[in-house]
Amino acid sequence: MTTDLSWHVPGDSGNTLHIGAWRIEGDGSGPRVHLQAGVHADEIAGMLVLHQLLPRLQACADQGRLKGSVTVVPQANPFGIGQFRQGRQLGRFHEATGQNFNRGFDHSLALDRPASNLAQWQKSLVQLAAEAELVLDLHTDDEAVPYLYIHRSFWPQGQALAAALKVDLAILWDDGGDGSFEETIIAHAGPRLAATIELRGQGDVSDQLAQQDGDGIWAWLCASGVIDEPAVIGDWQGQAVDMGCMETILAPCPGVLVFEKGLGDEVEEGQRFARIIGRPGQPDSEVVLRAAQTGRMVTRHRERLVAQGSVVAKFTGSRVSESWSGGVLDP
């Protein structure tokens, strides 16, 4: 049985925003699951994955093979999807307040009547997910290999999810402190497992990838006792990296960004991976960017004209980064 749980929140201009949500109920013998995509709004891949997964789950329930219940919120952020400027959709930050959409969820819960429309939406989303035992939050990076971002308390049991999704990188975090959705759910609802899945980069949206990722989530739901279907998930062979060992390289100057390494490439400490041409035409304006330690390039800046201070790339590492000061990576 499918229940339409779509709801409304007030928007920024006195309008009303709609959030589509559906709960597919099984026979009640399996765990409750919450799947959502697009908290930052500009993360499209997961929207397509859940769009395709929803009818599969409904058919599964109709056939009597759904044991748990699954709540699906394919486009979780109704504010950001309207932020089009000059033909481009600008997610990540709420234009009216400047707030990162995936921060401050904890504050929204503390208030009886949330102070802002944004906080009201955040509170409603947490409340919807709060009774789930398994929570997956689907994000995307700028350009990236697929990876899992997961709290250490859910490791190593999260390896099954990583293996099902065929991701070969998991980033383990300990303390967030800035009220992301996942952190807030963990603190206030205590799920058995919660994870952020980064479905590559913003341009990586295709039926083929969505099918592959949907199949991965499906296999994990089977293995987790949500769907009554045998699932074969092999051992995970990937790499788990502590949050503090990730290296984030920022642009020291603005300019034309030229990558010399690709996603997934290995780099040695000190090896060049990109350069920025500060003032094209002037050879001495080229700034070479080098890896801070030996590791693998796993995310890259999508635009090739870069602003000073922007994240150029992120790398895995094996020792704590000198630039790490705690906190989250920035999903």
Interface with Zn ion (CB under 5 A): 40, 139, 331
CB closer to Zn ion out of 149 and 273: 149
Residues 46, 199 contacting (CB under 8 angstroms) = yes
- Residue whose CB is nearest to Zn ion in the complex, by number: 139
Residue 113 sits at φ, ψ, to 5 deg, of -115, 105
Q: Least CB distance from residue 135 to Zn ion, whole Å?
A: 15
CB closer to Zn ion out of 141 and 168: 141
CB closer to Zn ion out of 139 and 301: 139
Q: Least CB distance from residue 229 to Zn ion, whole Å?
A: 30
- Can you tell me the distance from the alpha carbon of 65 to that of 63, in angstroms, rounded to the nearest whole number? 6
Residues 49, 220 contacting (CB under 8 angstroms) = no
Strand (E) or helix (H) holding 4: strand 2-4
- Can you tell me the distance from the alpha carbon of 247 to that of 319, in angstroms, rounded to the nearest whole number? 10
CB closer to Zn ion out of 68 and 331: 331
Residues 38-74, buried b or exposed e (16+ Cβ, 10 A)?
bbbbbbbbbbbbbbbbbeebbebbeeeebbbbbbbbb
CB closer to Zn ion out of 23 and 139: 139
Q: Least CB distance from residue 204 to Zn ion, whole Å?
A: 14
Q: Least CB distance from residue 180 to Zn ion, whole Å?
A: 9
Q: How far is CA 141 from CA 64, 147, 283, 290, 303, in A?
A: 37, 10, 32, 21, 13
Q: Least CB distance from residue 202 to Zn ion, whole Å?
A: 10
